[in-house]
Amino acid sequence: MNDPSMVTIDGPALIFGGNYSNLEATRAVLAEARRLGIAADNVVCTGDVIAYCADPLATVEVMRRSGVRVLMGNCEESIGFGSAECGCGFEKGRLCDLHAAEWYGFARQMLDADARAWMRDLPRRLELSIGGRHLAVIHGGARHIDEYIFASTSQQAMREEIDLTQCDGVVGGHCGLPFTEIVDSCLWHNPGAIGMPANDGTSRTWYSTISPIRGRLNIEHHALKYDFAVTARKMRQAGLSERYALALQDGLWPSCDVLPPVERAQRGKPLASRRVEW
C-alpha cells in the first residue's frame, strides 16, 4: 500500500467516526458500505473507535479486519500511548469527565498490547484526493486532536483551521454531531458518530457519503439504524454507565457540557438527512 497519509479515491467514499466501542453499530455501518458497493479502501473512519460502550476489543478487531482506513482519535492516542485519561477535552470535574473515567478504565482493562500497538501506528491525518478536491481528514482540529469544531463554530475559526491544513477543505470528527459547512468556498464536513446518537431524541446514529459528480462533490448525511438494545444490554451487563446505555435508546446525551449554546438548544430535535453539493 502507498503512504497511508496520502489517499486517492475514485468513485464514492463512505465516511464515519466515533464507533465508541459499539460493536453492533460498527458492523451495521460496514454492512452499509457493502450494500452501497463501496470498497474498503474507499471507507474512512475519523477515529475514536473505542469509548462509551462495552466492546472495545471486539470493535477494534472488526475494524482491523475490515480493511477500511482508520485515523487516530484522541482515544486511540491516549490508550495507545498509556495516558491515564481519555484526552477528550472535557472540563475537569464535570459530568462528561466523570463518566469518561469509568469507560476509559474499562477500555484500558479490556484492550491488549496488540490493540494498543495498532492504535499507536494509526495516522493522525489523511490527505484525501477525490473529485479533483484535496481534503484533510483530521480527528478534531488542525492544531489539536481534541479540538471541538461544531456547526456553530465561527466561520473565521473554521477558515483558520482549514488554512493550516493547506487543503481545499476538512473532514473532521470528535464532536459527535453531523454537519457540513461551506466556508469561503472551502469545506468543513463532519459525518457524525455511529456509536452514540446525535443528541436529537432518536436512536439513530450518522455516517456520510462523498461522491464526485460532474466536477462537484455530492455530500450526503445518512442515518444509521442498528440493534441498539443489544448494545445497551451489554453495557448494563458490564456495569457501565446507565445514562449512556439509556442514551442509545432515547437519543439524549447525559450531559451537554461540551456543547455551545446553539447545539445545546437543539437537544432533542430530530435531525434530517441532508445533501450538500460542493
What backbone torsions phi and psi does residue 166 show, to the nearest 5 degrees?
60, 35
Say which amino acid occupies 202: T
154 in any annotated domain = yes
- For residue 124, the model assigns a pLDDT of 96
Cell of residue 221, nine digits: 448525511
pLDDT band at 98 (very low <50, low <70, confident <90, very high): low
Averaged over 24-31, what is the pLDDT?
A: 98
What is the domain extent for residue 75?
6-277
**In a domain? residue 64:** yes
d(CA 96, CA 103): 11
Distance (Å, rounded) from C-alpha 259 to C-alpha 129?
31
Q: Is residue 210 one of the residues assigned to a domain?
A: yes
Residue in 109, 98, 122 with CA at minimum distance from that of residue 47? 122
Specify the number of domains making up the chain: 1
Assigned domain for 73 exists: yes
User: Over 80: is that where the pLDDT of 92 sits?
Assistant: no
* 40: its cell numbers: 474498503
Give the mean model confidence (pLDDT) for residues 244-258.
94
Residue 69 pLDDT:
97
> Does a structural domain hold residue 68?
yes
pLDDT digits (tens, 9 = 90+) for 7-21: 899 889 999 999 999
Determine the 3-state secondary structure of 59 from DSSP: helix
Residue 104 pLDDT level (bands cut at 50, 70, 90): confident
Does residue 27 have a pLDDT over 90? yes
What CATH number is attached to the domain comprising 255? 3.60.21.10
pLDDT level of residue 93 (50, 70, 90 thresholds) = low
φ/ψ of 211, rounded to 5, equals -130, 125
69 phi/psi in degrees, rounded to 5: -85, 125
- 268 inside domain: yes
The letter for the amino acid at 101 is A
| Rounded Cα gap, residues 77 and 6, in angstroms | 20
- Residue 1, pLDDT score: 35
Question: pLDDT tens digits for 146-203?
Answer: 999 999 999 999 999 999 999 999 999 999 999 999 999 999 999 999 999 999 999 9
- pLDDT interval class at 83 (50, 70, 90): confident
Question: What is the separation of C-alpha 274 from the centre of its chain, rounded to a whole number of angstroms?
Answer: 17
pLDDT grade for 3, boundaries at 50, 70 and 90: very low
pLDDT number for residue 32: 98
1 domain residue, yes or no = no
Q: What is the pLDDT, as a whole number, of residue 4? A: 46
Query: Which residues are registered as beta bridge partners of 14?
Result: 43, 209
Measured between alpha carbons, how far is 46 from 58 in angstroms, rounded to an integer?
18
Complete DSSP assignment for 7-55 = EEE-S-EEEE---TT-HHHHHHHHHHHHHTT--GGGEEE-S--SSSSS-
CA distances from 255 to 90, 234, 240 (A): 11, 21, 16
For residue 101, what is the enclosing H or E element? helix 95-110
